[in-house]
């Protein structure tokens, strides 16, 4: 699959680059995508939720009245879950939400997500570039020149570039990651992928 290469001014350079068919041209496997997105979202949960149960309440443990003969229901102490301010029944406890997904399935999910973006025409390949110093304004101008500033762009780098990262991080709805770090969720969440030339080979290495 050949795709045109653009410069940072949004102009076609006249060159094309080959996107590997085994990464960008497969039939998306929806179940693998679902599993990997679920794994990613679960990993974002802290799992620190906690509510107090009956035995953890600070109220008195005195039985409110005798068991029989009152004409009312049986009652224990004031911490009874049936009372306002009582303990909670089967409340949330701290837990780990992580789920395991095999590496082969995760790679298939990323290939599926990339292929879906390629099929939708939501991939732009750009010549490698960098800045001498962080400059959010310059990075914004590049996104505008590529007509993706309002499309939740995800810029994919061949390797981590601190200057580009600092230039992009304050732009609303824009994201930037090295090719080795992008997840299935991030690919799907992005409106358009802006991939630097050097990132194509890295994507192939991590996804194939």
Q: Tens of pLDDT along 145-182?
A: 999 999 999 999 999 999 999 999 999 999 999 999 99
Q: Specify the long-range contacts of residues 92-96, CB closer than 8 Å, at least 24 apart.
A: 92/49, 92/50, 92/51, 93/49, 93/50, 94/47, 94/48, 94/49, 94/50, 95/47, 96/47
Same domain for 90 and 106, yes or no, is: no
And the tokens for 189? 């969440």
CA-CA distance, 126 to 97, in Å (whole number)? 38
Whole domain around residue 40: which residue ranges?
A: 2-45+98-207
Co-location of 34 and 77 in the same domain: no
- Does residue 58 share a domain with residue 14? no
HSE at residue 173, side-chain half, CA atoms within 13 A, is 12
Provide the pLDDT for residue 191.
Answer: 94
What domain count does the chain have? 2
Task: Please indicate, yes or no, whether residues 187 and 116 belong to a single structural domain of this protein.
Answer: yes
- Sites in the chain below the pLDDT cut of 50: none
Structure tokens at 194: 């802006």
What residues does 4 pair with on adjacent strands? 16
């Amino acid at each position: 699959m050949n795709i045109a290469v653009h410069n940072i001014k949004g102009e076609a350079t006249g060159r094309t680059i080959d996107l590997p068919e085994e990464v960008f041209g497969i039939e998306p496997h929806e179940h693998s995508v679902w599993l990997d997105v679920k794994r990613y979202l679960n990993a974002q949960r802290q799992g620190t939720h906690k509510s107090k149960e009956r035995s953890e309440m600070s109220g008195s443990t005195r039985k409110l009245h005798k068991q029989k003969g009152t004409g009312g229901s049986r009652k224990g102490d004031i911490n009874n879950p049936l009372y306002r301010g009582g303990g909670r029944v089967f409340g949330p406890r701290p837990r780990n939400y992580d789920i395991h997904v095999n590496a082969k399935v995760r790679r298939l999910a990323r290939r599926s997500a990339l292929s879906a973006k390629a099929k939708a025409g939501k991939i732009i390949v750009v010549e490698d570039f960098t800045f001498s110093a962080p400059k959010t304004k310059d990075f914004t101008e590049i996104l505008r020149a590529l007509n993706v500033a309002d499309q939740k762009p995800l810029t994919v780098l061949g390797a981590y570039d601190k200057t580009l990262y600092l230039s992009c991080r304050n732009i609303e709805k824009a994201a930037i990651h090295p090719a080795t770090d992008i997840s299935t969720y991030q690919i799907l969440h992005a409106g358009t992928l802006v991939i630097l030339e050097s990132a194509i080979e890295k994507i192939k290495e991590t996804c194939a």
